[in-house]
């Protein structure tokens, strides 16, 4: 029987078909450089707020975080353990009041971070609430540090039309240059935001504030159009747990060019009774880290809470 040779062109077609079939059945993973490689499927059911460009809390001016600068040893413009009474009008506190206030704000023994006393702020208020100090900062640049403690927040406490409460309101001005206030915010998911006053968008922390534990926030303010603004967050053991950076138009005029007040508290109220607490406050031209303010030798450890402010 005569066997005819298979033409070379036919052999090539057979070999090519076999190679394709083996490739389809192979379990070997594709190389990362293969054009058909796809990113792994996301297992989360909803996008992270910091990754979603449509989330109003995500600020388009977010910058790469910067490590905190070396701790300095001077440049203090304000340092307080908040042990002296805070009371009276915010811009004219009477004798005996360390700082003025707005709303229901008291000094007392509230489980403080250092010393015998600190400040408690009622956040359910029809008006602005907080403790205020007028501190001009040279050239519109300074570091502001303060400790916060926030208990568990009752359901429905946040106004859904706003979505956050202000923890700090800071003024990047020396009183001679325009300075638009910068806010440190607390969102309902207990993230911390950094934004301009009343701006809907904010740069958010990944870290979430623990319930009823002290943590420390340091903000580096700079005046500019725009200017980088940095925030570093420390836990109750002074460990750096997060850092946030954003570009903000802090030199924007807002009708109060000579206003250089810094507030622990804010303008946005809760819809249910909520107290937040602050301690160990500083404003300085140098980074002082998560500062622990030594108890004042004149502070009375047995003092009753100060009277409610009327400013």
**How far, CA to CA in Å, does 112 sit from each of 133, 242, 307?**
20, 23, 18
Mean pLDDT of 13-28: 40
Inter-residue contact 227 to 248 (CB < 8 Å)? yes
**How far, CA to CA in Å, does 194 sit from each of 125, 219, 245, 271?**
22, 9, 8, 22
Q: pLDDT tens across 232-251, in order?
A: 999 999 999 999 999 999 99
- Residue 205 CA, chain-centre distance (Å), reads 6
Q: What domains can be seen in the chain, in order of their start residue? A: 76-284 (2.60.120.200)
pTM, two decimals, is 0.79
Confidence bin at 297 (pLDDT 50/70/90): low
User: Both ends of the chain: CA-CA distance in Å?
Assistant: 114
> Average model confidence (pLDDT) for the chain?
81
Q: pLDDT tens across 188-232, in order?
A: 999 999 999 989 999 999 999 999 999 999 999 999 999 999 999
């Amino acid at each position: 029987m005569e066997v005819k040779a298979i033409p070379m062109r036919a052999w090539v077609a057979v070999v090519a078909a076999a190679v394709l079939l083996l490739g389809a059945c192979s379990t070997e993973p594709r190389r990362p450089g293969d054009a058909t490689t796809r990113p792994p499927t996301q297992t989360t059911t909803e996008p992270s707020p910091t990754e979603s460009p449509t989330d109003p809390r995500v600020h388009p001016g977010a910058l790469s975080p910067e490590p905190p600068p070396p701790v300095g040893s001077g440049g203090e413009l304000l340092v307080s353990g908040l042990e002296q009474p805070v009371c009276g009008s915010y811009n004219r506190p009477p004798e005996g009041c360390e700082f003025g206030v707005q709303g229901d704000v008291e000094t007392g023994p509230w489980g403080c971070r250092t010393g015998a006393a600190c400040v408690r702020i009622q956040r359910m208020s029809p008006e602005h609430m907080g403790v205020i100090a007028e501190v001009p900062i040279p050239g519109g640049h300074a570091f502001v540090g303060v400790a916060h403690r926030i208990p568990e927040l009752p359901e429905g406490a946040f106004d859904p039309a706003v979505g956050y409460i202000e923890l700090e309101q800071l003024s990047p001005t020396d009183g001679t240059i325009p300075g638009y206030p910068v806010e440190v915010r607390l969102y309902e998911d207990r993230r911390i935001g950094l934004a301009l006053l009343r701006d809907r968008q904010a740069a958010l922390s990944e870290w979430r504030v623990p319930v009823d534990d002290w943590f420390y926030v340091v903000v580096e303010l700079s005046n500019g159009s725009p200017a980088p603004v940095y925030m570093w967050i420390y836990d109750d053991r002074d460990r750096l747990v997060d850092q946030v950076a954003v570009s903000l138009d802090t030199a924007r005029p807002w009708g109060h060019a000579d206003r250089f007040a810094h507030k622990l508290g804010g303008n946005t109220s809760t819809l249910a009774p909520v107290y937040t607490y602050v301690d160990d406050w500083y404003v300085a031209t140098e980074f002082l880290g998560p500062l622990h303010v030594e108890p004042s030798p004149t502070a009375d450890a047995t003092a009753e809470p100060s009277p409610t402010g009327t400013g």
